[in-house]
Amino acid sequence: MLRPRLIPCLLIHQGGLVKTQGFKSPKYVGDPINAVKIFNEKEADELIVLDIDATVQGVEPNYALIAKLAAECRMPLCYGGGIRHADQASKIIDLGVEKVAVSAAAVQDHALLTRMAEAVGRQSVVAVMDVRKRTGLFAKGYEVCTHNARTAHKLEPLALALSLQEAGAGEIVLNSVDRDGWMKGYDLDLAVQLRPALKVPLTVLGGAGSLADIGKLIEACGTVGAAAGSLFVFKGQYRAVLINYPTAQQKDQLFAAAMGA
Amino acid sequence: MIRVVDYGVGNIQAFLTIFKRLGLPAERARQASDLADATRLILPGVGAFDTAMRKLNESGMRETLEDLVLTRQVPVLGVCVGMQMLAGGSDEGQLPGLNWIPGRVRAFADHAASSSLPMPHMGWNDLHVQEGHPLFRDFEPEPRFYFLHSFYFDCESREQAVASASYGLVFDCIVSRGHVHGVQCHPEKSHHFGAQLLKNFATY
């Protein structure tokens, strides 16, 4: 049986590993390479590493750091942050990374995904959509944003996801800005809307506070990617830094309970 | 020496890293002369079938590889698209494959049982392996491997299909004909299950 994927998502800021809340107030949680080593030992399903500085600062991806991460990582690795051209994606794949994630550049120019898919194959092209609830009088629904949620776009998440898939994305990551770091559960409404409409795998990020939250996502969506930051780096109500990840047995129990298998 | 064939496609570094950790000497081969000392060959591959075949054909290494594998019987392991290249051809492209293991590469999308599932087939799945095959020596029960693909190898000979997995339909995910082997999943990214398979391939 193809299993849901439980994916730690690590954020890089000023060379260190951080965790944000609502995309703000990054808290330092440790060294990225050390975190990868621990997730190796825990045999995590996949890893997502996002450099949250590169796009807003308009700088190139930190290839030296990516090479170090890739060399250390014994599970599939997805890197995102600062990618604007297909040749950057090729370079990152050559460093030993399985998947390359783009957000801002793909929202602005969907054809980037087409060029990336031609260069590295669509199975290695991931489109990340940062989504938040519209606020204000008469506002309803969601909006897509980029640049660490500092830029909003008048785009519906579902329509955009379908366009990104059409353009060449082999996976869509749905990232909830509002829920980021609060550990109160995923945005199931939006996930349930997207999953059946998409032909490519969906990964949901933002809000997971417990394995039970992951169970609820799987119950709602079936075989999905369940990504989380805080859940896998914090322990307890005081958010003490402790990298953790369920065992194979814990995962199987979680899947069996959620999928009725 | 294990030689990982670097023809411009696929994750060479991941194999070198894992063999280093296993204490097995491995290097990349960028040109035919690098292959001279090969006692084992890894043929990686990702992306489109035709792109991978064209790059291998243009690498200047194909003739040497065929000599090593077909004449000198050097064991080879094709991985992902590198496995698919062992077939006669693929529904994904027009170029002929290496045809080292008779079979054809087909699309999940062309089968009713799998066409409605998310594509690519991405994530960890169970392997059903043929007992006693040298690639599976010391395997733990219920091995699971990481997959990332939309096409699969349809092996002509049932004897040469040594492991299967299921994604809508049951498909051949490891093929083996004498010293020629192919795995659809990614042993270089499948934790201790993958490391065991690579160790078995390198030391049987």
Cβ-nearest to A200 among B118, B123, B191: B118
- Write out chain A residues lying below 8 Å of B186, CB-based: 76, 98
Output the tens digit of pLDDT for each of chain A's 261 residues: 999 999 999 999 999 999 999 999 999 999 999 999 999 999 999 999 999 999 999 999 999 999 999 989 999 999 999 999 999 999 998 888 999 999 999 999 999 999 999 888 899 999 999 999 998 878 889 999 999 999 999 899 999 999 999 999 999 999 999 999 999 999 999 999 999 999 999 999 999 999 999 999 999 999 999 999 999 999 988 889 999 999 999 999 999 999 985
- Residue B18 CB contacts under 8 Å (≥ 6 apart), including other chains: A74, B188, B194, B195, B198
> Cα torsion at B77, B44, B195, A73 (round to 10°)?
180
**For chain B, how are helix, strand and coil distributed in percent, rounded to 5?**
35, 30, 35
DSSP B70: I
pLDDT at residue A239, as a whole number = 87
DSSP A108: H
**Is residue B1 scored above 70 in pLDDT?**
yes
User: Is A92 in the B-facing interface, judged by CB distances under 8 Å?
Assistant: no
What number is the average pLDDT over the span B180-197? 96
> Cα torsion at A61, A62, A66, A69 (round to 10°)?
-140
Looking at the complex, report in whole angstroms how far the Cα of residue B39 sits from the nearest Cα belonging to chain A: 24
List helix spans (H) across A95-229: 104-108, 111-120, 157-167, 188-194, 211-221
What number is the average pLDDT over the span B178-201? 97
Range of the domain at A164: 5-259
B188 catalytically annotated: yes
pLDDT at residue A154, as a whole number = 87
CA distance A162 to A245: 32
Largest CA distance in chain A: 50
- Check B186 against A76: CB less than 8 A apart: yes
pLDDT tens digits along B78-131: 999 999 999 999 999 999 999 999 999 999 999 999 999 999 999 999 999 999
B186 catalytically annotated: yes
CB A89 within 8 A of CB A100: yes
HSE-up (13 A, CA, CB side) for residue A191: 28
pLDDT at residue A261, as a whole number = 55
* Cβ-based neighbour number of residue B100 at 10 Å: 24
* Beta strand A24-30 pairing with A16-21: antiparallel
Q: Choose from B19, B28, B84, B124 for mutation: most chain A CBs within 10 A.
A: B124
Range of the domain at B72: 2-203
CATH of the domain at A79: 3.20.20.70
Q: Choose from B122, B149, B196 for mutation: most chain A CBs within 10 A.
A: B122
CA distance A59 to A61: 7
* pTM score of the predicted model: 0.95
CATH of the domain at B55: 3.40.50.880
Cβ-nearest to B119 among A40, A98, A200: A200
| CB burial of residue A188 (10 Å; 0-12, 13-18, 19+) | middle
Q: How far is CA A100 from the centre of its chain?
A: 11
Hey, which bits of chain B come out as E strands?
Answer: 2-5, 26-29, 40-43, 76-79, 89-90, 103-107, 121-126, 128-129, 144-149, 151-155, 161-167, 169-177, 180-183
- Check A225 against B123: CB less than 8 A apart: yes
CA distance A100 to A120: 9
List helix spans (H) across B30-177: 49-58, 62-66, 81-84, 112-115
SS3 A17: strand
List helix spans (H) across A14-156: 32-41, 54-57, 63-72, 86-94, 104-108, 111-120
User: Is A161 in the B-facing interface, judged by CB distances under 8 Å?
Assistant: no
Both structure tokens of B90:
């693929």
Q: Choose from A1, A33, A74, A92 for mutation: most chain B CBs within 10 A.
A: A74
Q: How far is CA A62 from the centre of its chain?
A: 18
* Cβ-based neighbour number of residue B25 at 10 Å: 12
pLDDT at residue B13, as a whole number = 86
**Contacts across the A-B interface (CB distance below 8 Å):** 87
- Residue A187 CB contacts under 8 Å (≥ 6 apart), including other chains: A131, A174, A176, A178, A179, A204, A206, A207
Number of domains in chain B: 1
* Beta strand A240-241 pairing with A234-235: antiparallel
Number of domains in chain A: 1
- Write out chain A residues lying below 8 Å of B47, CB-based: 120-121, 123-124
What number is the average pLDDT over the span B41-52? 92
